[in-house]
């Protein structure tokens, strides 16, 4: 999937990187050491799925994210526009930040109401990205002093971009995750095509813990409850001729039309087409 990757390290941790990868449907955010991050989107489009949001990002935008579980996703329209995605990333580790700034990043009560935020890349940020690209292409220039300077520069720029009261407040807020309740997370992602394993990951749980919590909350297994809710939504949509059957299938979170047809007929005893015709008489 990764076509090209260039990195710069500080204290044996990747702090700047440029990654080009082929298009994908869905991948989880993977962590090295509980880092927050910022990404410049150089090429391609994708979306971020969190516990309570689904945000799209395209070329030229920036992505600021706390350290938490989420997915990168693309749909067919996004993949058709570009068969690859390239980002330049800045990775922020608490242990490195505290060394650079000589303060405890938890010594601030500042909080923000987002886990992921889309950032408009202005001229200052664009110039910063160009300087990181230069170093990634010429790593022999990037000694430890220069890397420390660029990290400090980024923190200053981003603190001003998000209007944080101070650099300490900005950094502290990036490691205070906003959480949704288990029930809200499930209901927010009910009609996605997330697998049970992926839903568990989004909730930050092991599969066994997730299944136990799900049954306690909804009194049914995840497969049974989610399947039932998708089919009930589909049956309501089929009453209207406004939606094509393929649109109903994808809007309700089915991977393929054949899977939708099979599940629908098993539950209602009629195919989606037959159900629609019966509902219109």
Spatial distance between the Cα atoms of 213 and 225, rounded to a whole number of angstroms: 13
Per-residue pLDDT of the chain (281 residues; tens, 9 = 90+): 789 999 999 999 999 999 999 989 999 988 777 899 999 999 999 999 999 999 999 999 999 999 888 999 998 888 888 889 999 999 999 999 999 999 888 889 999 999 999 999 999 999 999 999 999 999 999 999 999 999 999 999 999 999 999 999 999 999 999 989 999 999 999 999 899 999 999 999 999 999 999 999 999 999 999 999 999 999 999 988 889 999 999 999 998 899 999 999 999 999 999 999 888 76
Backbone angles phi, psi at 215, to 5 degrees: -65, -35
Please give the domain boundaries of the chain with CATH numbers for all domains. Answer: 2-173 (2.60.120.810), 182-280 (1.10.10.60)
Contacts 24+ apart (CB under 8 A), 141-144: 142/8, 144/10
Beta carbons within 8 Å of 170's beta carbon, 6+ residues apart: 110, 155, 158, 159, 162, 164
Q: How many residues does the chain have?
A: 281
Q: In the prediction, which pLDDT does 82 show?
A: 87
- The string of DSSP codes covering 102-127 is TS-TTS-----S-SEEEEE--HHHHH
What is the pLDDT at residue 5? 96
Q: Are 268 and 235 in contact (CB under 8 A)?
A: yes
pLDDT at 281: 64
């Amino acid at each position: 999937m990764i076509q090209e990757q260039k990195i710069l390290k500080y204290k044996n941790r990747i702090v700047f990187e440029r990654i080009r990868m082929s298009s994908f449907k869905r991948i989880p955010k993977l962590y090295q050491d509980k880092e927050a991050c910022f990404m410049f989107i150089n090429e391609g489009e994708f979306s971020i799925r969190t516990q309570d949001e689904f945000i799209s990002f395209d070329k030229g935008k920036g992505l600021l994210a706390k350290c938490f579980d989420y997915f990168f996703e693309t749909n067919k329209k996004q993949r058709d526009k570009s068969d690859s995605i390239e980002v330049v990333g800045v990775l922020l580790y608490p242990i490195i930040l505290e060394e650079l700034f000589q303060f405890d990043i938890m010594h601030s009560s500042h909080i923000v109401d987002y886990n992921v935020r889309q950032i408009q890349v202005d001229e200052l940020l664009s110039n910063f990205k160009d300087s990181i690209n230069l170093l990634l292409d010429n790593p022999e220039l990037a000694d430890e002093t220069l890397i420390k300077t660029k990290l400090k520069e980024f923190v200053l720029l981003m603190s001003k971009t998000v209007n944080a009261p101070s650099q300490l407040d900005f950094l502290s807020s990036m490691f205070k995750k906003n959480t949704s309740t288990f029930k809200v997370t499930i209901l927010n992602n009910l009609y996605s095509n997330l697998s049970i394993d992926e839903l568990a990951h989004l909730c930050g749980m092991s599969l066994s813990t997730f299944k136990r919590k799900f049954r306690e909350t909804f009194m049914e297994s995840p497969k049974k409850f989610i399947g039932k809710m998708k089919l009930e939504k589909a049956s309501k949509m089929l009453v209207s001729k406004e939606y094509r059957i393929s649109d109903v299938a994808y809007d309700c979170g089915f991977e393929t039309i054949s899977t939708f047809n099979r599940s629908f007929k098993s539950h209602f005893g009629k195919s989606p087409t037959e159900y629609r015709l019966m509902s219109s008489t």
